[in-house]
Structure 1
Amino acid sequence: MTVPPALSWHTALTVWDMPVAAAVVIAVAAAGYLAGILRVRDWRLREAVWFYLGLLLGTVAAGGSVNAYSTVLFTVHMAQHLLLIMVVPALLLLGRPLELLRRASGDRFRRTAARARRSRAAGLLTHPVFAFVYYAAVVVGTHLTPFQQTAATHPVVHGVEELLYLSSGYLFLLPILGTEPFGRRLPQLLRLVVLLVGMVVDTVVGLTLLMTSQPPFPAYVSPGRGWGPGPVDDLHWGGAMMWVGGDLLMAGVAVIVITVWVGSSSGAGDLGAWLESARRSAVTGRTDTLDPGVDLDEDEEALRAYNAMLNRLHGGENGQQHRPAK
């Protein structure tokens, strides 16, 4: 493996290592998004800015100096990891490319996409539980196993690693940001819980790397490098970036979720809807007894069900039944 020149501000801007496959994918995505904007015409500028900013950072992470030095310094690898698994997916999701594709496409494509969205495979891939397990497996598997050594020494495996980061981050954030017409949208409170658990994954892996006394990946112990931090310091700095940087990025996404939640016209409607559903279930004995549009506090059938529930609860108490509600 050829060792690049010492990392500096100059080399950070001038040294590039862009794989052909990554260049093609990024170019197609940029051109396709632009074509969608021209077709829809009323697409919001803010979303376009988010998307192209995500492509720009993805270009730097997958083909710029970040990629060139990611197999030489573990700290740079960790910077690439955080960019591809959190920052780039979040920006792409805020750009809503799937919604743009839906609006820019014809009816036949929309019907095909709707069938694909309802398929069992799509349901599994976009399920929040699967997304979290996939995210955790990628973070742990690429840092606490020999996989990282293989990725640092084999360009094809390194490309697979980058794809794993991007896809796992995208699926993890898809139900949390809830910007696309695809997958499931978690209640706002549950989104914060998932982010908190995600922080735990990053923290555990980061602390494990910080407490490792010997470099586990020989690829980053390069005698020909002659510059930069030593192997152990490099590993520990990378672990600190995973711990602190990963948690800060998760916290940043949490701020977005809270801001949207507070600014929503429904306020805490997600939690309120869940509580209302639980109340209906308790009153009627089953969730499908009443029409979902019926007001429990006004409908006579609902009131009879409510009185029946109270009678069941208190009917045996001193042989008396609860007085019916009016």
Structure 2
Amino acid sequence: MSAIEPLTWHTLVSAWTMPSLAAVLLPAGAAWYAWGAMRVERWPKQRTAAFVAGLAVIALAVGSSVNTYSGVLFSMHMAQHLLLIMVAPTLIIFGRPLDLAGRATTGRVRHVVTRTVRGRGLAMASHPVVAFLCYAAVVAGTHLTSFQQDALTSPWVHAGEEALYFISGYLLLLPVIGHEPIRRPLPHFIRLTLLLISMVVDTVVGLTLLMTTFEPFPAYAATGRTWGPGLIEDLHWGGAAMWIGGDVLMLALVAIVIGRWVNSPGGGADLGPWLESARRCALAGTGDQASTYLASREDIDEDDEALRAYNAMLARLAADDARQRRSP
């Protein structure tokens, strides 16, 4: 690594070192998706474009100069990190490969695919709490411990690190922006909350790296690099990239979730089962028949009947209050 050429516009474009496994899996994934898209009638082209773009981002992260120089510059490692943990999973999820797998297959294969997609394993792995803990552990564990040093000195650990980034990002974002048939969709309020608390993880780790005054990963110093930013400056650039770049990408996803929430059938009224349960309990305490009816419903605000009953309850409460004020 010490003999690596300085990073220039030329080497940024030309320095490709695609791993053998990625060179096989990425084209295979593209071929499988193309096969499935041709078997499904009127499969949207934008989904295909998103999936192919996701594979291209993965190829860029693991095979281009981003990967080549990630072992020399921590800031380049952080660029690889953001591509694999946020950009690529977002595009792959927009491509809806799990939905395509179920619709493109038939017979016993479809049965196996359906059981796998809708099974407890994937549902548990993509549960908001589990997915967030996994994401937080990967982000903090690979940057605030000696794991990054091991990844710099072992190609196998480095490959595992890249896989961890993609998997943890995919599991976090799947229930947030995905439409895959894995579970009952999360309320938009929970999706928004999950993104916001994940931003905290990126911010804390990024700021920690920004405030570090020594090189925590000796392998970067061992490269003997004599060009580019100094070791501490490069570390701080990487921390800033995680903090600012990560938060900007998260905010873009927040905007998507808010847009979907506002345009949802409920018009932004789906607060989630926990808050909805609290509201039902509050309504049940009024003693009104309409409120009792609403409190017992699981699909409140999801149809016109519930909305009419809710409005009727408010009107009755207002009328009762007016009568009490008029009475001596």
Same fold (TM over 0.5): yes
Task: String of CA shifts for 1:285-313, please: whole Å, max 9, x gaps.
Answer: 899967969956889xxx9xxx9xx9xxx
Please give the secondary structure, in 2, of the residue aligned with 1:180.
Answer: coil
Aligned to 1:234: 234
The equivalent of 1:68 in structure 2 is: 68
Structure 2: distance between partners of 1:108 and 1:269: 40
Unmatched 5+ residue regions in structure 1? 311-321
The match for 2:49 is 49
| 8 Å Cα contact 2:187-2:272 kept in structure 1 | no
1-structure distance, mates of 2:304, 2:268: 21
- CA-CA distance at 1:195 after TM superposition: 0.9
Is 1:159 matched up with 2:159? yes
Q: How much has 1:120 moved relative to structure 2?
A: 3.2
Q: TM-score, normalised by structure 2?
A: 0.84
Rounded to whole Å, the distance in 1 between the matches of 2:71 and 2:184 is 36
Shift in Å, 1:266:
3.2
Q: Secondary structure in 2 aligned to 1:88?
A: helix
How many Å apart are 1:265 and its aligned residue? 3.6
Contact kept? 1:209, 1:235, Cα under 8 Å? yes
Q: Distance in 1 between matches of 2:267 and 2:218?
A: 52
Summarize the Cα distance change of 1:104–1:269 in structure 2 as closer, same or farther, 3 Å threshold.
farther
Amino acid at match of 1:25: L
In structure 1, the partner of 2:4 is: 4
Shift of 1:119: 3.4
The 1:236/1:87 distance shift into structure 2, 3 A limit, reads same
Change (3 A) 1:278 1:117: farther
Q: Is the 8 A contact 1:127 1:184 kept in 2?
A: no
1:100 maps to: 100
Question: Per-residue deviation at 1:7?
Answer: 0.6
Identity of aligned residues (%): 52
Q: Runs of 4 or more off by more than 4 Å in structure 1?
A: 272-282, 284-299
Q: Which residue pairs with 2:258 in the alignment?
A: 258
What corresponds to 2:126 in structure 1? Answer: 126
Distance 1:117 1:212, change over 3 A: same
In structure 2, what residue type is equivalent to 1:53? A
Q: How does 1:1-326 map to 2 (within 5 A)?
A: 1=1, 3-222=3-222, 224-271=224-271, 278=278, 283=284, 295=305
| TM-score, with length taken from structure 1 | 0.84
Q: Do the aligned residues in 1 keep the contact of 2:71 with 2:77 (CA within 8 Å)? A: yes
C-alpha displacement at 1:49, in angstroms? 1.1
Tell me, what secondary structure is at the counterpart of 1:271? Answer: coil
**Number of residue equivalences:** 304
Q: Check conservation: 2:118, 2:181, Cα contact below 8 A.
A: no
Q: Distance in 2 between matches of 1:9 and 1:263?
A: 43
Between the aligned partners of 2:167 and 2:128, the Cα distance in structure 1 is 14
SS at match of 2:271: helix
Q: CA deviation at 1:187?
A: 1.1
How far apart, CA to CA, are the structure 2 residues paired with 1:73 and 1:298? 61
Distance 1:276 1:140 in 2: 34
Unmatched 5+ residue regions in structure 2? 285-290, 318-323
**Distance in 2 between residues matched to 1:261 and 1:296, nearest whole Å:** 19
Question: Is the CA contact (8 Å cut-off) linking 1:26 and 1:59 kept in structure 2?
Answer: yes
Contact 2:102 / 2:114 at 8 angstroms: preserved in 1? no
Structure 1, 281-290 or 29-38: larger mean CA deviation = 281-290
Given residue 159 of structure 1, which amino acid in structure 2 is its aligned partner? A
* CA RMSD of superposed structures (Å): 2.8
**8 Å CA contact retained: 1:55, 1:92:** yes
Deviation at 1:114, TM superposition (A): 3.2
- Return the offset for 1:112: 2.5
TM-aligned CA deviation for residue 115 of structure 1 = 2.7
Q: Partners of 2:244 and 2:307 in 1: how far apart? A: 49
| CA distance, structure 1, for counterparts of residue 44 and residue 256 of structure 2 | 18
